[in-house]
Amino acid sequence: MKIGLLGYGRMGKAIEKIALERGHEIVYKIDKDYNHGNLIKADVAINFSIPSAAVNNVIIALENSIPVICGTTGWLDHYKKVTQIALHNKTAFLYASNFSIGVNLFFKLNKTLAKIVQKHSDYKASVEEIHHIHKLDAPSGTAITLAEEIIENSNLKQWCKQDAGEDELEIKSIREGEVPGIHTIQYKSDIDSITIRHEAFDRKGFAYGALIAAEWIVGKKGIFKMDDVLNF
C-alpha cells in the first residue's frame, strides 16, 4: 500500500515507522516548510497535520479521489464540507478523534456506563483530559467525543469547560509535560464515586490504529467511523 502522510510531526513519524515495518511505502510527506514526494501516487492519505492546515490538506487529497484517514482534531466546523467533497469525488473519508484500539473500547464502555447511571440522578458526571504541553486544542477531541456520548445517553444538554450547571457536563483540560493522553470519566454522588480511566503510554497505539484504518479503507467509498473498522 502506498501512503501519503499529511503532517510529518510526531504522529506522522510514528505512523511511518509502523507502516514501513508492515511492508507499506511512503510516497508523499507534507508538513510546515516540508513537501516531499507525489501525493497522486498514494492509495490512501493519513492526516495528522495541525488544525489550521488539516482542512486544505484533506480537501486536496479528496479532490484527487484519494481516500483519507483523519486524526487531526479542532477543525470539525468544516466536517460537512469535507464529507460532501469526499462523496462528490467518489472516494472515502474517515475521521476519528482517537484511533487507539483501547480508546475505542473505552468509548464503548463510556456509553454503556452512561446508560446505566442515567437511571440514578444522584450521580454527577465530569470529564478530565491530560495531554502534553504541545497539544494545541483543548478540550481534546477524545474528551469531546466522550462528553457527547455521555450527553446522548443522559439528561444532560451540553458540555462546558468550567462551572457546569445542572444540565451541563464539565470537561477539565490539563496540559503538562509530555503526557501522551489520559482521559478520566467520573460519576460522583454525596456518598461515593465511580471512575473509569484510559491512559496512553505512548503514541504507538494511535499510529497503529490509524494505519489499520488506512489498510481497511482502501477501495471503499463513503463516510466511515472507527466503529466500521473495528466492526463494533
**pLDDT tier at 35, thresholds 50, 70, 90:** confident
pLDDT of residue 58: 97
Asked if residue 232 has pLDDT above 80, the reply is no
pLDDT of residue 116: 96
Q: 12-34: per-residue pLDDT in tens?
A: 999 999 999 999 999 999 988 77
How far apart are alpha carbons 185 and 37 in whole angstroms? 43
Q: 130-158: per-residue pLDDT in tens?
A: 999 998 889 998 999 999 999 999 999 99
Mean pLDDT of 111-120: 95
Task: Check if the beta carbon of residue 22 is closer than 8 Å to that of residue 3.
Answer: no
Q: 181-194: per-residue pLDDT in tens?
A: 999 999 999 999 99
Asked if residue 168 has pLDDT above 90, the reply is yes
How far apart are alpha carbons 149 and 144 in whole angstroms? 9
pLDDT of residue 69: 98
Q: Render 100-168 in DSSP notation, one character per residue.
A: -HHHHHHHHHHHHHHHHHTT-TT-EEEEEEEE-TT--SSS-HHHHHHHHHHHHTSS--EEESSS--TTE
2-99+204-230, CATH topology level: Rossmann fold (3.40.50)
Class of residue 177 by CB neighbours under 10 A (exposed 0-12, middle 13-18, buried 19+): exposed
If you count DSSP H runs as helices and E runs as strands, how many of each does the chain have, helices first? 7, 12
pLDDT of residue 208: 95
pLDDT of residue 179: 94
Domain residue extents for the chain: 2-99+204-230, 101-200
Catalytic residue among 29, 131, 183, 198: 131
135 is catalytic: yes
Q: 61-99: per-residue pLDDT in tens?
A: 999 999 999 999 889 899 999 999 999 999 999 999 889
Cell 479542532 belongs to 74
Proportion of the chain above pLDDT 70, given as a percent: 100
Partners of 129 in beta bridges: 173, 183
* 18 three-state secondary structure: helix
Catalytic residue among 135, 188, 204, 221: 135
HSE-up (13 A, CA, CB side) for residue 38: 2
Average pLDDT value over all residues in the chain? 94
Task: Check if the beta carbon of residue 11 is closer than 8 Å to that of residue 37.
Answer: no
**pLDDT tier at 7, thresholds 50, 70, 90:** very high
pLDDT of residue 163: 85
Mean pLDDT of 203-228: 95
Whole-number CA gyration radius for the chain: 18
Asked if residue 202 has pLDDT above 90, the reply is no
101-200, CATH topology level: Dihydrodipicolinate Reductase; domain 2 (3.30.360)
Partners of 215 in beta bridges: none
How far apart are alpha carbons 151 and 24 in whole angstroms? 40
Q: Are strands 92-95 and 68-70 parallel, antiparallel or unpaired?
A: parallel
Mean pLDDT of 193-221: 95
pLDDT of residue 3: 98
131 is catalytic: yes
Mean pLDDT of 31-52: 92
pLDDT of residue 97: 87
CB neighbours of 209 closer than 8 A, spacing ≥ 6? 96, 98, 99, 100, 101, 104, 226
| 3-state helix, strand and coil shares in percent for the chain, rounded to the nearest 5 | 40, 30, 35
